[in-house]
Every structure is written in structure tokens, then in C-alpha cells.
Amino acid sequence: MMKMQRGLRTAFAAMALAGVAFAPVSALAAGKLTVSSPQDPGSWDPIDTFLVNWASVATNIFDGLTYRGPDLKLVPGLATSWEVLDNGMRIRFKLREGVKFHNGEAFNAEAVKFTFDRLLGPEGAKGPQQSNYNSIGSVDVVDATTIDMKLKVADPVILTKLAGYGGMIVPPKYIAEKGDAYFNAHPVGTGAFKFVSYEPKVNIILAANPDYFGGAPKISDLEYKFISEPATAVAELQAGRVDVVIPPTIPIGMIPTIQGNAKLAVVTSPGPTVYALRFNTRDGITKDPKVRQALIMGVDRDAIIKSILGGQAQPIASFQGPLSFGFDKAMKPLPYDPVKAQALLKEAGVAPGAAVQIDLRGNEATFIEVAQAISAYLQTIGITATIKPYETNVLLNDIIPGGKTGAMFQQSWGGWTLDYDNTAVAMYHTGEKWNPYDSDPKMDELLAKQRTITNVAEREKVLQEIAHYAADRALEMPLYNLNAIFGINKRVKNFTPVPDSRLKFTDVTVD
């Protein structure tokens, strides 16, 4: 009891130093939950990131106007209701009353307007989220609890987008007083947990918000430790120093180790995350679509799923999984056919022994095994593949967007809106961060077209056309849709393995 009291006093002191308002935690159930996350996103500002590992933390700090829970249904968030008007070009939101940001600042219509003005302005242009929301023309204040969101172009996914990432509502006065750089490292939202402290590459510590509009959390403290090495994360779970290990950390080969510990469990859920090796379509031999098709046909992806992934994945024909709107279950991947692959390479004039480089995230042990298998398969069709691992942030923030990759590079994508639009625009539209090499007017036209269609069935057909067109051009080697795999200590109760890793720990308890 004495240790717990000291821990609470330490938390209070840290919160006070951070300038965060708090209420007595004694009103909350005691208990600390510690989570292992494989990556520190480097900024906690919602407009600065696309990373699932950001959302795994920040879903507990911030709220959007809407919220999508573990059942994937869209429900009210900071907006209690909304009405779609003017043929889908205006949405009127009624806002919650009495909600405060963690610093005591009032949540209201002005905060919503500030959030989207900032997201769509010069500050938002510095980050990757603006393009997800550029269908919004303006956010206008009707009164203190009502706003009108006016669209420039139709956006059938906008209500879902408002449930995450760049659409999270931020405090105007706090940001004006502290500045963007300070906000990056000292986030303030309206969420179920308040920021306490952040040590880059080490951890972020949160404390329960007893005044949360969705109900006070059942635990008092929440810590995320940034552990990039999978073996270390599993060892910390085994030692009881972390309670939950979140995807994509756990290598398939370590699942039996976790399951063999009576205090631990492995929990899986079908997830949206898909893996591919995308091609440099600008330079080298992969500039030729015949070569790209050959490389795809030279790899037995079914065997990789069975032998390396232990059946915890499903093959994909396009860069999306079955949870994605736009998924065509009738679409089949290019078959494994090494003879045909060699013929295509010869037709393209590629000499035996030609070299390609595969760039990947160096901290994902399972994918490194997958890449090694791919390299071996390519060797059998006369291609010499070398694997180049990068620190994740370097790969994602420099090498890929800068167009500095080798012939192939790892892309894993959550498609968190569960709508192919979120993936396809980011991957294929000219000028997007994740499309450093390709520019295709026909693809751009299709991507723009589907956003204007309000008929669900018609829009789905266009999304499927986009998937087929990307496959015909062989823009990537689609690999698999991986299950979300969590390792947990059995002392953790009421844990739900959400498909998109956007874990909200409001109802979790620890024994």
C-alpha cells in the first residue's frame, strides 16, 4: 500500500510539472497497465503521423468527432450526432457539452474549427495527414455546440476519417501558448488518459482522466514502453515487466513460447494490415512491368504463409484484406510459376544474376524471415536479391518518401478506415508520400472518380477497378493479410484485441 501511495504521489508531481490538470486518482480503481509498443512515432501531434503505433497510444489521449470501436461500428465521439445535408456536401455536427481538455480548457465549436483550420493549413501541410482530409473546404461555427463541415468534393469516407489520426480534436489555447514543438512532446486532448511524461525512444506515461465523458478508466496508470526488438519485448512479457505486447512485434516463432507460459496468452484477431514489397517503377529492371510480374510469379507466397507465418495470414491479390471496402474476393493473385517468371525475364532482356535490393524495417523479425525466403525464391529464377534493413523511422520518413529505395521495399499498411480509398490514394496517387516513383493519369482519374460517387455499389466497383488496374501494372508484390497478434499477461482482464490496434484501455482492469 505504501508503494502504491508513493507511486500516486510521483504521478501527481509529474502531472503538475507537465502543466496538466488532474483530479484525485483515489476515486479510480488502482492499477497500472504496461504496454510494449515497437515504435516511438516521434511526435504526438495528430497531424504529424500515419503510424499505427501512434494511434495505439493516442486513441487514449485524444478523441475525434466520431469513434470507431472494436466492433468496427461508427458511433458518436465528441459529436453527439450529425446530419448529412446538401447532397452530402455539408455535415452538421452537434457537440458534447461540458467536456474539457486535460489542461482545463473547454471543448467547444471553436476548438473543432481550430483543429481543422490547423490541419488544412500550413502546419498540417508539413505532415502526412492533410491529404486524408483535403475534401474539407471549411469548418464553420454555428454556435458553441454546433459546427457545419462543408466539403469541397464528395468524400464517402469522411465520417470514418474523423474517428482517427489527423481528425483528433486539439486544444487551441494550449497550442497557441506552448507552440507546436512543445505540443509534439506534451500532448493534451480530451481522452480517457492524460499525459504525464515522455522520454523519446523509452516510454510515454499516462494517468487516468476521472472526468472522461465516456466514463472514468478502471486503471489509474498506463505506460507504453518502446521496445523495438521483438525478443526483448517477449522477454519483458515473460518477466512480468510488461502486460501487453502489441502488433506487429511478436514473431510467429515465439507464439509457442508465450503459449507455454501459464501466466500468459496469445490473442489474435483478423486485422486490416497487409504486407507487400512495392516496386521502384522509375529505375532499374523493375521499371519494366514484365520484370515486376516475373518477380511476383517467382515467389511462392502460399508456402511462406504456411511455413513462416504458421497460418496466421491469408494471401492477397491486391494491397488490401477482406475487411477493406473495395476488396474483390473473386480477384486472384498471380500464381507461383517460376518457369513463366524466367520466360518473362528473358523476354525483358534481364540477364541471369541481375541484382535487386530489398529495403525493409530492421526491427520486424518475422518480415526479415519472409524477405529471406523471397530472396531464396528469386535466386531460383536467376535474380540475386540483397536485403537492406533500416531503422523504421529512417525508412518511412526518408528512404521511401525521398525515392531512395532499392528495386523493392517493404510496405505494411493498416488501411485503418477499412476503405480501400485510404490505401489506394496514399499508394498510387501522383505526388503522395508513399508513391515516390509512379505517376499515372488513368490511376489518378480513377482515384478521384470514386470519391465523387455516393452510390455504395457503384463506388465499390470503381475501387475494385483500381485494385485490378494496380495488379495489372504490378505496382507491388502483394504478400499477405496478417492477423493482429497480441501477447498478454492473464492478469489483464476485459482486453479486446481490436483489428486496427487502436486500443482504448478504458474498461481494462489488472489483477
Order of strands across the sheet with 146-151? 79-85, 90-95, 146-151, 136-143
Task: State residue 27's pLDDT score.
Answer: 40
Q: At 341, give phi and psi (nearest 5°).
A: -60, -45
Q: How confident is the model at residue 24 (pLDDT cuts 50, 70, 90)?
A: very low
pLDDT mean over 465-487: 96
* Averaged pLDDT for residues 106-120: 98
Contact predicate 128/54, CB 8 Å:
no
pLDDT at 67: 96
The residue-averaged pLDDT of 320-338 equals 96
pLDDT in tens, 346-384: 999 999 999 999 999 998 888 999 999 999 999 999 999
**pLDDT for the residue numbered 41:** 93
Check residue 19 and give left, alpha or beta (phi > 0: left; psi -120 to 50: alpha).
Answer: left
Residue 304: Cβ-neighbour burial (10 angstroms; 0-12, 13-18, 19+):
buried
Strands 313-315 and 74-76: unpaired
Mean pLDDT on 316-322? 96
Task: Find the mean pLDDT for residues 18-36.
Answer: 59
Higher pLDDT among residues 24 and 217, named by residue: 217
Query: Residue 52: which H helix or E strand, with range?
Result: helix 52-58
> What confidence tier does 23 reach under pLDDT thresholds 50, 70, 90?
very low
- Cβ-based neighbours of 474, under 8 Å, separated by 6 or more: 279, 289, 292, 293, 296, 334
Q: Residue 317: pLDDT band by 50, 70, 90 thresholds?
A: very high
Predicted local distance difference test score (pLDDT) of residue 454: 80
d(CA 46, CA 176): 16
Cα 488 to Cα 242: distance, rounded to the nearest angstrom? 8
- Chain centroid offset of residue 294 CA: 30
Average pLDDT of span 286-307? 97
pLDDT in tens, 60-88: 999 999 999 888 899 999 999 999 999 88
| pLDDT of residue 4 exceeding 80 | no
The whole-number pLDDT of residue 29 equals 53
- Give the tens place of pLDDT for each residue, 239-262: 999 999 998 788 888 999 999 999
Q: What pLDDT shows up at residue 98?
A: 97
Q: Mean pLDDT throughout 112-121?
A: 98
Kindly report the average pLDDT of the chain as a whole number. Answer: 92
C-alpha cell belonging to residue 273: 494490415
* Per-residue confidence band for 330, with pLDDT thresholds at 50, 70 and 90: very high
Supply the DSSP string of 391-440, one letter for each residue: -HHHIIIIITTTT---SEEEEEE--TTSBHHHHHHHHHSTT-TT-SS---
Burial of 3: CB neighbours in 10 Å, binned 0-12, 13-18, 19+: exposed
Helix (H, G, I), strand (E, B) or coil at 324: coil
Cis peptide before 128 (omega within 30 of 0): no
Q: Are 368 and 229 in contact (CB under 8 A)?
A: no
pTM of the model: 0.78
Residue 17 clears pLDDT 70, i.e. is over it: no
| Among the ranges given (105-109, 129-133, 140-144, 333-337), the one the predictor scored with the smallest mean pLDDT | 129-133
Number of CB atoms found within 10 A of residue 399's CB: 18
pLDDT of residue 366: 87
pLDDT per position as a tens digit, 128-160: 899 889 999 999 999 999 999 999 988 889 999
Question: Which of the 8 DSSP states describes residue 388?
Answer: E
